[in-house]
C-alpha cells in the first residue's frame, strides 16, 4: 500500500527525521492559509497523487509541473486553484493521469546538494537494501542510466538488528557526506531513524528524493515515498488508515479498485473489455494470459478469493459491470474446498440479485462437484454460457467481446448457449 507524500512527511516528522514544515490543503483558500501560517514566504506547492515524477508531470489543463516553487501566499492560492480538481499525468501514471484532490504546501528550502536515499527489499538477498546516490533529484533515473556507479546498493543482512554505524558511514561515503564529522553525524542520525521507521512500520519501500544538504550543513527530506506490506495491515492500523480505500474521501486510486477492496477482492484495472471474476490469484493470472493468448484483452484482474456466496458473486458482478468498457463477463472458478454446486448456486443468485446482465456471461466451472454445478447453470434458464473446457470458454468470451459492439451487447447474448 502506498500513502501520499504529506502523510509520509508526517511519519518522518513523528520519527524525528528532519522535513520542511508543511500543511496539506483541499481548497485554494486553505492552501493560502497554509502558506500564511508557514510565514507567508516562498513555498513549494505539490500535487498529492500516488505517483512519482510529479515535477515533470503535466496537467490535463496544460499546466506543466505538479511541483511549483512560488514566492508568496497569494501565488500559492493561484497555483493551487490550477492544480486542484485537475488530472496530473506523469511518467508513472496512466495516460489519463490522476485526479488531484489535495495539495501539500511546504516551506521552500534553499540547498547546496540534492541526494537520493532509499531503503527497499533486496529480493535476491532477502534483506533490506539501502540505495544511495549523490545525484538525487528529478534526474536520478538518467544519472543511474548513464553512470551506474553513481548509485550504490548496500544490502543490510540483519533485519532484526538496528543499523550499524559502519553501514551508515558507508552510505555517507556514497553520498559524499564523509568530508566532515558533522555531515557523517547528521547522516547517521537520519539514517538510523529512517531504518528504524522502515522496520517498525513494515515498510517495503521508503524513498527520499531529494534528500538535501543545506548551506548550514543540515540534511532535510524534501520528498518521500512509502510503501507498506499489505500483509501487515493487522498490526499497522494507523498507517493503513491513511490508505486510499473507500473510507478515504480523497481516493486517487481507480474508483473500482477502491470499491473492490470492501468485499476483500484483489482487483486490478486493465485495458481491455472482458470482465473477469476468478477465484485464486494463480487462476486469475492464467485466465488473463489465456485471454491475451487467444486474442482478447481483459478489463480487469479480479481474484474473488475462496468465498462463493451469493453476496460475493453479486458484489463481483456489480463491480465488473459498473465498468462501461466490459463487453462480456467471464467467470472462471475452480472448486477445491468449495463445491461446484455451491458455486453455481451463488452465480445464479448473484445474477438474479444484480438483475439481467447487460452483457453475455460465460462461466467455466471445474473441480469438486463440477458436474452438478454445470447442470444447474445449464438448467437455470438465465442464458448463462456454461463451457467446461478452459480454452473453449476463453475462446467464447473473446468472440462475444469482439461481436458485441457498444449497442449490440444484448443481441450477442443469445447467439450461443452451453
Ligand atoms: P517528484 O517529482 O514527484 O519526485 O516531486 P519532488 O517533491 O521530488 O519535487 C520535484 C523537485 O522539485 C525536486 O527534485 C526539487 O528539485 C524541487 N523542489 C522540491 N521542493 C523544493 C524546495 O523546497 N526547494 C527547492 N529549491 N526545490 C524544491
Ligand atoms: Mn521526488
Could you tell me which of 102, 108, 115, 94 has the C-alpha nearest to residue 51?
94
Q: Whose CA is nearest to atom 14 of ligand 1?
A: 137
131 and 103 belong to one structural domain: no
- Could you tell me the distance, in angstroms and rounded to a whole number, from the CA of residue 157 to the centre of ligand 2? 27
In a domain, residue 205? The reply is yes
Residue 114 known to bind ligand: yes
In a domain, residue 5? The reply is no
Q: What HEC string does the chain produce? A: CECCHHHHHHHHHHCCCCCCCEEEECCHHHHHHHHHHCCCCCEEEEECCCCCCHHHCEECCCCECCEEEECCHHHHHHHHHHHCCCEEECCCCCCCCEECCCEEEEECCCCCEEEEEEEEEECCCCEEEEEEECCCCCCHHHHHHHCHHHEEEEECCCCCCCCCHHHHHHHHHHHCCCCCHHHHHHHHHHHHHHHHHHHHCCEEEEEEEEEEECCCCCEEECCEEEEECHHHHHHCHHHHHCCCCCCCCCCCCCHHHHHHHCCCCEEEECCCCEEEEECCHHHHHHHHHHHHHCCCCECEEEECCCCCCHHHHHHHHHHHHCCCCCCEEEEEEEECCCCHHHHHHHHHHHHHHHCCCCCCEEEEEEECCHHHHHHHHHHCCCCEEECCCHHHHHHHHHHHHHHCCCCCHHHHHCCCCC
What pLDDT, on the 0 to 100 scale, is given for residue 262? Answer: 76
CA–CA gap between residue 125 and residue 121 (Å, rounded):
9
166 and 100 belong to one structural domain: no
266 and 372 belong to one structural domain: yes
Residue 284 scores a pLDDT above 80? yes
Residue 279 known to bind ligand: yes
- Could you tell me the distance, in angstroms and rounded to a whole number, from the CA of residue 208 to the centre of ligand 1? 11
347 and 293 belong to one structural domain: yes
Residue 410 scores a pLDDT above 60? no
Could you tell me which of 208, 171, 205, 206 has the C-alpha nearest to residue 186?
171
- Could you tell me the distance, in angstroms and rounded to a whole number, from the CA of residue 360 to the centre of ligand 1? 50
- Could you tell me the distance, in angstroms and rounded to a whole number, from the CA of residue 224 to the centre of ligand 2? 7
CATH assignment of the domain containing 399: 3.40.50.261
CA distances from 346 to 267, 338, 377, 382 (A): 20, 11, 10, 13
CA–CA gap between residue 313 and residue 329 (Å, rounded):
12
- Which of 240, 270, 291 represents a domain boundary (last residue)? 240
| Best residue among 24, 55, 117, 133 to mutate for probing ligand 1, ranked by most atoms within 8 Å of CB | 55
129 and 100 belong to one structural domain: no
Residue 348 scores a pLDDT above 70? yes
In a domain, residue 274? The reply is yes
Residue 55 known to bind ligand: yes
Helix axes 181-200, 5-14, angle to 10 degrees: 110
In a domain, residue 247? The reply is no
Note the ligand closest to the C-alpha atom of 68.
1
Per cent of the chain over pLDDT 90 is 78
Note the ligand closest to the C-alpha atom of 93.
1
Residue 243 scores a pLDDT above 80? no
CA–CA gap between residue 152 and residue 136 (Å, rounded):
12
CATH assignment of the domain containing 30: 3.30.1490.20
- The atom number, within ligand 1, closest to the CA of 55 reads 2
Domain extent, residue 386, equals 255-415
What pLDDT, on the 0 to 100 scale, is given for residue 254? Answer: 66
What pLDDT, on the 0 to 100 scale, is given for residue 253? Answer: 53
What pLDDT, on the 0 to 100 scale, is given for residue 94? Answer: 86
- The atom number, within ligand 1, closest to the CA of 51 reads 3
**Arithmetic mean of pLDDT, 309-338:** 93
- Which of 240, 267, 288 represents a domain boundary (last residue)? 240
Residue 53 known to bind ligand: yes
208 and 260 belong to one structural domain: no
288 and 393 belong to one structural domain: yes
274 and 223 belong to one structural domain: no
Question: Could you tell me the three cell numbers for 349?
Answer: 443468485
CATH assignment of the domain containing 219: 3.30.470.20
HSE-CB for 297 with a 13 A CA cutoff: 6
Q: Is pTM, for the whole model, over 0.85? A: no
288 and 408 belong to one structural domain: yes
In a domain, residue 6? The reply is no
268 and 397 belong to one structural domain: yes
Give 76-86 pLDDT, tens digit per residue.
Answer: 999 999 999 99
What pLDDT, on the 0 to 100 scale, is given for residue 250? Answer: 39
What pLDDT, on the 0 to 100 scale, is given for residue 405? Answer: 56
221 and 314 belong to one structural domain: no
Confidence band for 409, pLDDT divided at 50, 70 and 90: very low
Q: From the CB of 137, is ligand 1 less than 6 Å away? A: yes
- The atom number, within ligand 1, closest to the CA of 56 reads 2
Q: From the CB of 225, is ligand 1 less than 6 Å away? A: no
Contact (Cβ atoms closer than 8 angstroms) between residue 40 and residue 104:
no
Give 154-168 pLDDT, tens digit per residue.
Answer: 999 988 899 999 999
What pLDDT, on the 0 to 100 scale, is given for residue 89? Answer: 96
Q: From the CB of 40, is ligand 1 less than 6 Å away? A: no
In a domain, residue 10? The reply is no
Give 360-374 pLDDT, tens digit per residue.
Answer: 999 999 999 999 999
Could you tell me which of 295, 280, 391 has the C-alpha nearest to residue 335?
280
In a domain, residue 248? The reply is no
Q: From the CB of 53, is ligand 1 less than 6 Å away? A: yes
What pLDDT, on the 0 to 100 scale, is given for residue 230? Answer: 83
Residue 302 scores a pLDDT above 70? yes
Number of domains in the chain: 3
Q: From the CB of 44, is ligand 1 less than 6 Å away? A: yes
**Arithmetic mean of pLDDT, 313-317:** 94
- Could you tell me the distance, in angstroms and rounded to a whole number, from the CA of residue 41 to the centre of ligand 2? 22
HSE-CB for 232 with a 13 A CA cutoff: 16
In a domain, residue 16? The reply is no
Residue 143 scores a pLDDT above 50? yes
Q: From the CB of 223, is ligand 1 less than 6 Å away? A: yes
- The atom number, within ligand 1, closest to the CA of 223 reads 7
Q: Cite the active site residues.
A: 116, 207
Buried b (16+ CB within 10 A) or exposed e, 153-184: ebebeeeeeebeeebbebbbbbbebeeeeebb
Report the residue count for the chain: 418
- Which of 240, 267, 296 represents a domain boundary (last residue)? 240
Could you tell me which of 132, 170, 168 has the C-alpha nearest to residue 150?
132
129 and 77 belong to one structural domain: no
Note the ligand closest to the C-alpha atom of 56.
1
Amino acid at each position: 500500500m502506498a500513502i501520499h507524500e504529506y502523510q509520509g512527511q508526517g511519519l518522518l516528522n513523528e520519527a524525528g527525521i528532519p522535513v520542511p514544515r508543511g500543511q496539506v490543503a483541499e481548497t485554494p483558500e486553505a492552501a493560502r492559509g497554509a502558506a500564511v501560517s508557514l510565514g507567508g514566504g516562498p513555498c513549494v506547492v505539490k500535487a498529492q497523487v500516488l505517483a512519482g515524477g510529479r515535477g515533470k508531470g503535466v496537467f490535463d489543463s496544460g499546466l506543466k509541473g505538479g511541483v511549483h516553487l512560488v514566492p508568496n501566499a497569494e501565488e500559492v492560492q493561484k497555483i493551487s486553484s490550477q492544480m486542484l480538481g485537475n488530472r496530473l499525468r506523469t511518467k508513472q501514471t496512466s495516460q489519463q493521469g490522476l485526479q488531484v484532490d489535495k495539495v501539500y504546501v511546504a516551506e521552500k528550502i534553499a540547498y547546496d546538494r540534492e541526494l537520493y536515499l532509499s531503503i527497499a527489499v533486496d529480493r535476491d538477498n532477502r534483506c533490506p537494501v539501502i540505495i544511495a546516490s549523490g545525484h538525487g533529484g528529478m534526474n536520478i533515473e538518467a544519472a543511474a542510466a548513464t553512470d551506474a556507479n553513481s548509485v550504490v546498493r548496500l544490502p543490510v543482512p540483519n533485519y532484526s538488528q538496528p543499523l550499524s554505524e559502519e553501514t551508515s558511514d558507508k552510505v555517507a561515503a556514497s553520498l559524499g557526506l564523509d568530508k566532515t564529522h558533522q555531515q557523517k553525524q547528521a547522516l547517521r542520525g537520519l539514517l538510523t531513524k529512517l531504518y528504524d521507521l522502515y522496520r517498525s512500520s513494515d515498510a517495503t519501500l521508503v524513498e527520499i528524493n531529494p534528500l538535501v544538504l543545506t548551506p548550514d550543513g543540515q540534511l532535510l527530506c524534501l520528498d518521500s515515498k512509502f510503501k507498506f506490506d499489505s500483509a501487515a495491515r493487522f498490526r499497522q492500523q494507523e498507517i493503513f488508515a491513511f490508505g486510499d480505500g473507500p473510507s478515504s474521501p480523497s481516493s486517487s486510486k481507480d474508483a473500482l479498485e477502491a470499491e473492490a477492496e470492501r468485499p476483500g477482492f484483489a482487483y486490478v484495472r486493465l485495458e481491455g473489455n472482458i470482465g473477469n471474476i476468478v477465484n485464486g490469484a494463480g487462476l486469475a493470472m492464467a485466465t488473463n494470459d489465456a485471454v491475451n493468448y487467444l486474442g482478447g484483452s481483459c478489463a480487469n484482474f479480479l481474484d474473488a478469493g475462496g468465498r462463493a456466496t451469493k453476496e460475493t458473486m453479486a458484489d463481483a458482478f456489480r463491480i465488473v459491470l459498473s465498468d462501461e468498457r466490459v463487453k462480456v463477463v467471464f467467470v472462471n472458478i475452480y472448486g477445491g474446498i468449495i463445491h461446484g454446486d455451491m458455486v453455481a448456486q451463488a452465480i445464479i443468485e448473484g445474477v438474479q440479485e444484480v438483475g439481467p446482465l447487460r452483457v453475455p456471461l460465460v462461466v467455466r466451472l471445474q473441480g469438486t462437484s463440477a458436474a452438478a454445478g454445470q447442470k444447474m447453470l445449464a438448467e437455470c434458464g438465465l442464458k448463462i454460457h456454461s463451457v467446461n473446457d478452459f480454452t473453449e470458454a476463453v475462446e467464447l468470451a473473446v468472440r462475444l467481446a469482439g461481436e458485441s459492439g457498444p449497442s449490440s451487447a444484448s443481441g450477442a447474448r443469445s447467439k450461443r448457449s452451453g
